[in-house]
């Protein structure tokens, strides 16, 4: 669970705020319209809802595929287009064969994943299997062999760096992120990863340098600004914390657990700057985000969360103290 806890953050950084918002709008609008149709009677309702489902799938595919490179886009188009075609036939032309066509669409997604699969995904699958058993050395070896064959793919280095971070091999993880940045000098993901691993290692100055590069490359990505604010909190750069984390909030941080820590760092920074009212306002937001606190607590209980506990354990505990009323923002400023 811990390994996948950060995947949404990276997906957000990959997709970007505009595409992420568009994806949410497509899903929300089609879902709402489908619910509204439940209030009507008629044989046309179910086909109309099916068309809305197809529209949601097609819209999501367009948004996500548009961000991919040509090779990867072709891979997924080969999987998704036949399935979407089968769904359209089931709804519009051959409703009497809807059930087998829906089954065929699902079956092709599964079969197509294997048919179009390259050596890379097989190595990833092997690595994930080892990861689930906490066999980090074996997981890294799976990626080593793939990288030897495809040394110019930055995504391979990113995944191996994630494995190395979980294993605690931070120096090797740093080298992989640096290699990723060399292969793609405009990759905010690479510099964001460097910032995270330097932060994990306690090297805050190097983390700050990488975080500033990530934020410069992706000024509209809340993830980069969130990490930058966290690093600046560690360095005591309170004015910069407030600036960058307010920007992150303006970009609509979607999940409660990250908003919780943003308000924690804001409360501490505002208190250090002497703005007690702003500090208490941030603390009051923490008390409203109990679901985010519970999510962090569950994540940190995992066996795989050792490195994450080292980085965020004290912050989550401080948020719990604030939420329970056992600490105020001014006390937090002394921490």
299 located within any domain: no
33 located within any domain: yes
Q: Give me 304's structure tokens.
A: 């795989």
Q: How confident is the model at residue 79 (pLDDT cuts 50, 70, 90)?
A: low
> Is the full-model pTM beyond 0.75?
no
- What's the mean pLDDT in 148-155? 90
pLDDT of residue 164: 93
62 located within any domain: yes
147 located within any domain: no
29 located within any domain: yes
Percent of the chain with pLDDT over 70: 77
pLDDT of residue 1: 41
Domain that holds residue 111: 2-115
Residue 9 has pLDDT above 60, yes or no: no
325 located within any domain: no
104 located within any domain: yes
Residue 210 has pLDDT above 60, yes or no: yes
- Domains identified in the chain, total number: 1
43 located within any domain: yes
């Amino acid at each position: 669970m811990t390994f996948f806890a950060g995947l949404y953050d990276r997906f957000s950084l990959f997709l970007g705020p505009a595409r992420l918002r568009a994806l949410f709008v497509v899903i929300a609008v089609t879902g709402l319209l489908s619910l509204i149709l439940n209030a009507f009677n008629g044989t046309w309702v179910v086909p109309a809802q099916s068309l809305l489902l197809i529209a949601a799938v097609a819209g999501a595919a367009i948004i996500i595929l548009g961000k991919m490179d040509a090779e990867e886009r072709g891979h997924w188009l080969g999987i998704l287009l036949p399935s979407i075609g089968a769904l359209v036939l089931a709804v519009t032309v051959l409703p009497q064969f809807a059930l087998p066509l829906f089954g065929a669409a699902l079956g092709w997604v599964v079969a197509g994943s294997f048919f179009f699969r390259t050596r890379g995904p097989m190595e990833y699958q092997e690595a994930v299997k080892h990861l689930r058993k906490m066999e980090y050395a074996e997981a890294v070896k799976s990626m080593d062999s793939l990288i030897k064959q495809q040394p110019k793919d930055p995504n391979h280095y990113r995944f191996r760096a994630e494995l190395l971070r979980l294993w605690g091999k931070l120096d090797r993880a740093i080298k992989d992120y640096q290699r990723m940045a060399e292969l793609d000098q405009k990759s905010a993901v690479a510099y964001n990863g460097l910032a995270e691993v330097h932060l994990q290692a306690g090297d805050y100055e190097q983390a700050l340098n990488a975080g500033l590069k990530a934020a410069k490359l992706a000024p509209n990505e809340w993830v980069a600004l969130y990490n930058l604010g966290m690093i600046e909190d560690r360095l005591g750069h309170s004015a910069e914390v407030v600036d960058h984390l307010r920007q992150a909030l303006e970009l609509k941080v979607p999940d409660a657990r990250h908003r919780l820590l943003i308000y924690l760092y804001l409360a501490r920074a505002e208190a250090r700057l002497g703005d007690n009212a702003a500090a208490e306002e941030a603390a009051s937001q923490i008390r409203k985000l109990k679901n985010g606190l519970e999510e962090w607590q569950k994540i940190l209980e995992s066996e795989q969360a050792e490195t994450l506990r080292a980085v965020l354990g004290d912050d989550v505990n401080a948020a719990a103290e604030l939420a329970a009323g056992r600490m105020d923002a001014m006390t937090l400023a002394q921490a």
